[in-house]
């Protein structure tokens, strides 16, 4: 067990962020008290609310602290009219895209795994869900979300035109490809690369580079290719066929939400965004749930905190080298779900519907029973 002192920055953010993060912090405190998790943490404000109070998305100096932290646990941002009212340029320069860019977390890893007791919460048939366990690896720092030129312009005839640029370089494709192939070597040895090589030049380059990387360095791993539209169909038709799926920023964003229905709800999807290894061999890690800020239920103690809690579990394994603790947390989550203690988004007939904090209460009780 690693006993060196580590540090974690906790950022609740906007909307339901403070509610779900409060439960993750309770779990963090439990691991500090009961499992010797030797970690300091600090909670920081960031997001739309902070901007409207201070004129900045985050306080002066916080970005520098983020860059030296062992990990960042993040809740949610934006999603409100207040967010849309902030100039686009400000949002891009100060918001979550900036954090990802400066942390250099190019690889988003999103496990798609069905807890057996949640099969009834999914809209898919149980026989489709049996044995599903795959990972979506999404390139996070390039593609259409970052490409230039971009903008909205007025044409000579008075029409307005919006435009974005989908752009990738060989090195960007190769580095995310390596993450996927290396992960597949630790799992079942299969990678599915997703693109739109049939209609997009950037997609054609993506496929060519993934093929070349596979041939040169990873011929021991099975590789196949799907167009993004077919991939979305296959995820809901037969998700069990996948092991590791690698794709670009835009398609990864879309396909991971599609895959949420395998897990039963976006409220169950955790994720980790990782940098390349630094000089000390460690990676920067940004851990966040897949869902948004859900402003329609913010402040009502209704939101599902499990995606945030499971994101903390990913941090335990990937940033803090505590796989046994990550496994313990996942077992505890599974036992809570087996007891049919659920927030409304994953409740089925016969379930006990509980609040956000009620989920935290149940989880801590189960953790206590497991040690």
Strand partners, 222: 190
Residues in the chain: 371
d(CA 334, CA 148): 44
Half-sphere exposure of 7 (CA within 13 A, CB side): 8
CB 304 within 8 Å of CB 354: no
State how far the Cα of 273 lies from the Cα of 175, in Å rounded to an integer: 14
- Angle of CA points 35, 281, 187, to nearest 5°: 70
> Which whole-number Å values give the CA distances from 316 to 58, 107, 223, 258, 269, in the listed order?
25, 17, 30, 26, 16
The catalytic residues are 145, 196, 229, 253, 257
Task: Please say whether the dihedral angle defined by the alpha carbons of residues 225, 227, 232 and 233, taken in this order, is positive or negative.
Answer: negative
CB 136 within 8 A of CB 142: no
| Residue tagged 């593609």 (tokens) | 143
Instruction: Determine how β-strand 6-13 pairs with β-strand 71-76.
Output: parallel
If one counts every other C-beta atom within 10 angstroms of the C-beta of residue 162, the result is: 8
CA 82 to chain centroid, in Å, comes to 24
């Amino acid at each position: 067990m690693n006993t060196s002192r580590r540090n974690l920055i906790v950022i609740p953010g906007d909307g339901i962020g403070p509610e779900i993060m409060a439960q993750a912090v309770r779990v963090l405190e439990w691991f500090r008290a009961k499992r010797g998790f030797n970690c300091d943490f600090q909670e920081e404000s960031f997001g739309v609310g902070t901007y409207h109070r201070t004129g900045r998305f985050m306080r002066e100096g916080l970005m520098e602290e983020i860059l030296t932290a062992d990990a960042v646990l993040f809740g949610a941002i934006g999603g409100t009219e207040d967010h849309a009212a902030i100039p686009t340029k400000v949002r891009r320069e100060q918001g979550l895209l900036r954090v990802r860019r400066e942390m250099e977390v190019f690889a988003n890893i999103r496990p798609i795994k069905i807890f057996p007791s949640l099969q009834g919460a999914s809209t898919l048939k149980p026989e489709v869900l049996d044995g599903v366990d795959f990972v979506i690896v999404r390139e996070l720092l390039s593609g259409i979300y970052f490409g230039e030129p971009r903008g909205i312009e007025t044409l000579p005839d008075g029409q307005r035109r919006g435009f974005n640029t989908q752009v990738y370089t060989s090195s960007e494709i190769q580095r995310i490809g390596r993450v996927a192939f290396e992960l597949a070597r630790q799992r079942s040895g299969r990678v599915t690369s997703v693109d739109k090589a049939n209609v997009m030049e950037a997609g054609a380059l993506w496929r060519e580079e993934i093929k070349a990387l596979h041939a040169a360095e990873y011929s021991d791993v099975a590789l196949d290719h799907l167009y993004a539209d077919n991939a979305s169909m296959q995820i809901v038709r037969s998700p069990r066929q996948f092991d590791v799926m690698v794709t670009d920023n835009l398609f990864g964003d879309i396909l991971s939400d599609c895959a949420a229905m395998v897990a039963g709800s976006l409220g169950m999807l955790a994720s980790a965004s990782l940098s390349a290894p630094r000089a000390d061999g460690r990676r920067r890690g940004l851990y966040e749930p897949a869902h948004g800020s859900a402003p329609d239920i913010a402040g009502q103690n209704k939101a599902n905190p499990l995606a945030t809690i499971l994101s903390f579990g990913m941090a335990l394994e990937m940033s803090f080298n505590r796989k046994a603790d990550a496994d313990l947390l996942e077992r505890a989550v599974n036992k809570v779900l087996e007891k049919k203690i659920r927030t409304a988004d994953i409740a089925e007939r016969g379930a006990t519907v509980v609040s956000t904090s009620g989920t935290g209460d149940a989880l801590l009780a189960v953790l206590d029973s497991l040690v």
